Structure 1
């Protein structure tokens, strides 16, 4: 069964986007609404650094149109630790901070691990068992962004698949580009935009990402985020991909 393809960026507050993506004079408080009008998803970065209020999530949900979704970056206190199996309390605090206020705008949760974090099958398996399937009756979907080559291991993919968690595909000069099992949705983070390219990536590369998203979308919801790299070009790359998909 096919899904919906959503394409976006990381966050929405970035000064160099003012005058390049955002029109001159647009009020900062209207920037998220502008993202909602022109893209179909964004990652929430603030949740990685600190706990947010339920009213904040509700406000974000109201700022964007139907169909738009937020991927929520999990707290660093869950993932940046020596023993992942001990993160249960932090995970509970994170998922219960008010994510449900996003309603149908809630996309996947992104669990990002440090590049130095190596694959420990026992500990990582224990961590995956701590990830809740839902919160207050709202289903949760989990995406794992691992950045150490030791995760390029059949045992990791098996654990992720058993947990129903997507493995994030990363286009990055240093992190491994991993593809996990089909779990009903996919998640890509594309991090090599270049400032000299008006659309971040060359036109043939944009066509490649659009084709990848189309293929993933045939299997379930597909999320594609342009982040990092030449971040000033991320919105243009997202818009070019949306255009290539024929969504606008």
Structure 2
């Protein structure tokens, strides 16, 4: 079985990108259309700050190619405010907010936890158990959303569409085999997060896909990746996509996580402050031989200037 490799960016609407990654004169309304033809996946992060609408998701889905995939960052209200307690209605609200308007372009859901959130095995097990494994399960949960979201079409959710979930942790208390075992039990991916050494970096494979977030290897959110650094990531992706693990992998649990012939890859660059993310994503796509299938060429790459 061949793997699906998605390399992209976290968000796409950034003022410093205009006239740089985005060509001069490109309207903001066309930025998603351009970005989605320069990379093959984008992580939606506006959903982290506030619930989006069915109309907005439908519009985003219409702006991108048919074979494009979005990942969605789940609401911080669940992870940061409620901290996984009494989340039945907030989870229903999220699932009823319109993300299924993306249809087959809907990829994994990212659940990011704050640095102050420590591992509680019982609480986390309860959380993972609540996550829907497919759209049919999501629809059952969405029925319990708050009345304000029960508008026409709020249950316009297709049946039987698989759902994937990934968890990004930022506290060392999660570096325990019990956490890894929980993720594997529920087939939830542990995010490989490069954060310039600020938060834990782990590479345990816990699901049938790998989810990567590259925030910058030297300075968080701003430093770019050198050609050598991108080559290292290419090598790791090639191993992971074929079900293997690097010999120098940073692991919490030394055994397990193998036995698959392939894994899908979702990799998002989040080093956006100095307009490095879109260029790093494009260069990695080129290294993987995936750029030729895309239409748009980012601004500085058109001029032959390294990103």
TM-score w.r.t. the length of structure 1 is 0.94
The answer to whether residue 270 in structure 2 is matched with residue 227 in structure 1 is: yes
User: Hey, what's the Cα distance between the residues in 2 that align with 1:130 and 1:152?
Assistant: 23
Task: Report the CA distance between 1:180 and its aligned residue.
Answer: 3.0
| Unpaired segments ≥5 residues, structure 1 | none
Task: Give the match for residue 212 of structure 2.
Answer: 188
Q: Is the 8 Å Cα contact of residues 72 and 109 (structure 1) preserved in structure 2?
A: yes
User: Hey, what's the Cα distance between the residues in 2 that align with 1:57 and 1:10?
Assistant: 16
Task: Give the match for residue 96 of structure 2.
Answer: 96
Structure 1 residue matching 2:7: 3-state secondary structure: strand
| Unpaired segments ≥5 residues, structure 2 | 136-156, 243-261, 292-307
Bigger fraction of residues in strand: 1
The answer to whether residue 297 in structure 2 is matched with residue 240 in structure 1 is: no
Task: Give the match for residue 178 of structure 2.
Answer: 155
Equivalent residue pairs, number: 245
Q: Is the 8 Å Cα contact of residues 85 and 124 (structure 1) preserved in structure 2?
A: no
Indicate the RMSD between aligned Cα atoms, in angstroms. 1.7
User: Hey, what's the Cα distance between the residues in 2 that align with 1:229 and 1:63?
Assistant: 22
Task: Report the CA distance between 1:5 and its aligned residue.
Answer: 0.6
Which string of whole-angstrom CA distances, capped at 9 and with x for unpartnered residues, describes residues 75-104 of structure 1? 111111465242121111111211111011
Bigger fraction of residues in helix: 1
Task: Give the match for residue 301 of structure 2.
Answer: none
TM-score w.r.t. the length of structure 2 is 0.76
User: Hey, what's the Cα distance between the residues in 2 that align with 1:40 and 1:204?
Assistant: 22
User: Hey, what's the Cα distance between the residues in 2 that align with 1:3 and 1:65?
Assistant: 19
Which string of whole-angstrom CA distances, capped at 9 and with x for unpartnered residues, describes residues 175-213 of structure 1? 111223341111000111679xxx921101111111222
Choose 1 or 2 for highest CA Rg.
Answer: 2
Task: Report the CA distance between 1:23 and its aligned residue.
Answer: 0.4
Task: Give the match for residue 144 of structure 1.
Answer: 167
Structure 1 residue matching 2:31: 3-state secondary structure: helix
Which string of whole-angstrom CA distances, capped at 9 and with x for unpartnered residues, describes residues 48-101 of structure 1? 111111111111011111221111000111111465242121111111211111
Given the superposition, is the C-alpha separation of residues 193 and 179 from structure 1 closer, same or farther in structure 2, using an over 3 Å criterion? Answer: closer
